[in-house]
Structure 1
C-alpha cells in the first residue's frame, strides 16, 4: 500500500500510528510541523503481521503532492493556514488576518484571553503581542511573531476546533465545476508559457 496526499496532512503520522497499532513497534517516519519533511518515497514498512497464508501488509510513505492549480485566493489561504504550504510563501500577518476572520465567524470568544473582539488584524496582533510579551526594542509589538504564534496555536487545536470550509450542496457543486475546469486552466497556462519561451528565443538573436 502507498499513502498519497497533500503536504503536511499527516501521512507520515498515519504510517507511524498504523505501525504502532498493527505490529506494536515505534516510529519509523520523520514528522514535523512544516510541509516537506518527507522528501522521497520511503521503504516499505510492515503495519500488519502475516500468517501462514500471507506475508502481512506493508506501507510506503510518500512526499506531499500539491494541487497543480488553486482556483482562487481564498482556497490558497486555507491551504496555507492549514500548513500545506510553507509559512514563508504567504506573509504571516495575511494568514493571521484570515484566521481572525474565520475565528469571528466561529466564535470571537475563543481568542478572548488575548484580545477583545475585533475585525482589525493590526489591533488584534498588537493586543496579542502585549499579552504574550512579544515586543521589540522600545516596547513595539512584534506583529509577525505574534501572527505566527497565533497560527500555530490554531493548528494545535488551542483556538477552537472548526473547519475552514462551509459544506453545502451549492458549494460542492461549485467545487465540482472548478475541478472540471482545471484541465483547461492548466492547458492555457502551459500554452502561455510556451509562447513566452518562443518569443524569448526569437528576441535573443537580435539582442546578441
Structure 2
C-alpha cells in the first residue's frame, strides 16, 4: 500500500514501478491537482510471480492530509507544493511566497521579465505583458500569471530547491518550536477528556 500526503506522486510511483517491473502502462490516473485518487484501488501487479507465486501487488490510496497545520508558513509550503488545491490559498499570495524563495536562491531566474524585485505585483504585471496574459482593455491578468508562475516552479523551470532549511541546526530549532506550540482544539479536547477520566478514577480509588 502506498500512503502519503496529497499530490506527492504516489500514483506516479505506482505507474513507474509497474512499467519497470512488468513492462505495462499506466494503471493509476495522475494529475497536477490533489484529489485525483479518491478511493483505495484494487491491487496493481508490479513484479511478476515465480515458482507458483502470484508476484507483488501495490494498492494506490487517496492522499492523507495532516489534521493540524501548525502555522501559516507550513500551509503556504504545502499549498505551493500542490498538496492542497490551488483554490485554498490565493494564487498571488503563493506567488509572493515563491518570489521570496526565488530571491534567496537565484533572482536571475526571472531576469527576462524584470530586474530583481520584492514586489510581486510588479513582477506579475511584467510577466503578463511579456507573455500576453492580458484581460480586456489590456489589464494584466495577475491571477493567471501567478498560477503560471507556480506551475513553472513545480515543473522545475524556476529552479530546483526545497522550501525548508534542512540543516541540522534548523531541524533542531524547528523541533523545539513544535514542542512549544499550543495544542489544536482537537488535541485540547482529548487532553481535557483524559484529565477528567483520571480525576474520576482517582475519586473512585479514594472512595473505595
Matching residue of 1:119:
118
Q: 1:39-65: CA deviations, max 9, x gaps?
A: 000000000011116321100000000
Q: Name the stretch that deviates more: 13-22 or 109-118.
A: 109-118
Q: 1:55-101: CA deviations, max 9, x gaps?
A: 21100000000111111111110110000000000000000000100
Contact 2:3 2:60 in 1 (8 A): yes
Q: Given the superposition, is the C-alpha separation of residues 112 and 190 from structure 1 closer, same or farther in structure 2, using an over 3 Å criterion?
A: farther
State the number of aligned residues: 191
Matching residue of 1:167:
166
Matching residue of 2:7:
8
Q: Extract unaligned runs of 5+ from structure 1.
A: 193-208
Contact 2:165 2:171 in 1 (8 A): no
Matching residue of 1:187:
187
Q: 1:139-169: CA deviations, max 9, x gaps?
A: 1111101101111111111111111111122
Distance, in Å, in 2 between the alignment partners of 1:74 and 1:190 is: 26
Distance, in Å, in 1 between the alignment partners of 2:63 and 2:100 is: 28
Contact 1:46 1:59 in 2 (8 A): yes
Q: Name the stretch that deviates more: 179-188 or 37-46.
A: 179-188
Q: Given the superposition, is the C-alpha separation of residues 149 and 65 from structure 1 closer, same or farther in structure 2, using an over 3 Å criterion?
A: same
Q: CA RMSD in A?
A: 2.0
Q: Given the superposition, is the C-alpha separation of residues 156 and 189 from structure 1 closer, same or farther in structure 2, using an over 3 Å criterion?
A: farther
Q: Name the stretch that deviates more: 106-115 or 146-155.
A: 106-115
Taking the TM superposition and a 5 Å limit, the aligned residue runs for 1:30-109 are 30-52=29-51, 54-109=53-108
TM-score w.r.t. length of structure 1: 0.86
Q: CA deviation at 1:13?
A: 0.2
Matching residue of 2:205:
none
Q: 1:100-158: CA deviations, max 9, x gaps?
A: 00100000011112222100011111111111101111111111011011111111111
